[in-house]
Amino acid sequence: MTKFDSDEAAKVHQQLHHALPSDPALRVKALESLVVERGMVAPETLDTWVEAYSEHIGPKRGAEMVARSWLDADFRARLLRDTAAVAEELGFQGHASAHLKAVENSATVHNVVVCTLCSCYPFSILGMSPSWYKSAAYRSRIVREPRKVLAEFGVELPEDVAVRVWDSTAELRYLVVPQRPAGTEGWGLEQLTALVSRNAMIGTERDLSRRVQGAG
């Protein structure tokens, strides 16, 4: 049985500022070892959470919401109108999804999401956030030069396509709904869900047609 002691947690927090290495992966391992050693969390609990977000949640929940919107116009309208309610309806509501807004790509608009203050992100919908999303470079540059940053991700946008940058906060987070790729007529929910990538729902991927060929 693990226990939580606020004084012990404060000591651990203080130690982290002095002892953790700069590399994110090493910091995670050091933090994991420390909290397990202090009896604050059981290692099997950590394993369960990692598995839940990497294997069962991941970006799969968000991808299913996008795929449903491609198949059902009424669902799409509700998703864009009240995203949090739709997430709750599907049983996807959780930490960081209570205030969620879907924004839709079109032939003339491309949306991309950032959190300029820290790394606010809809974990229960998209799983764990990628390391680049939390980097200072992405958080600052995507606002100043979105087209250039998107090009570095392989998203080359014509000048007639407007770029909208959405800044997530603790109160409001975003889900990009990408365009349905051609060649998917007659596809079912499971097939379409498999096409939707995490990056597409952040906005750093736009054209999903290449995924159609791989899935065909």
CB 60 within 8 A of CB 54: no
- The single residue of 33, 54, 106, 118 carrying the catalytic annotation is 118
Q: How far from chain centre, in Å, is Cα 46?
A: 20
168 is catalytic: no
22 is catalytic: no
CB 45 within 8 A of CB 68: no
Cα separation values, 7 from 14, 15, 214, Å: 11, 13, 53
- The single residue of 69, 97, 120, 168 carrying the catalytic annotation is 120
129 is catalytic: no
209 is catalytic: no
- The single residue of 69, 97, 115, 124 carrying the catalytic annotation is 115
| Active site members | 115, 118-120
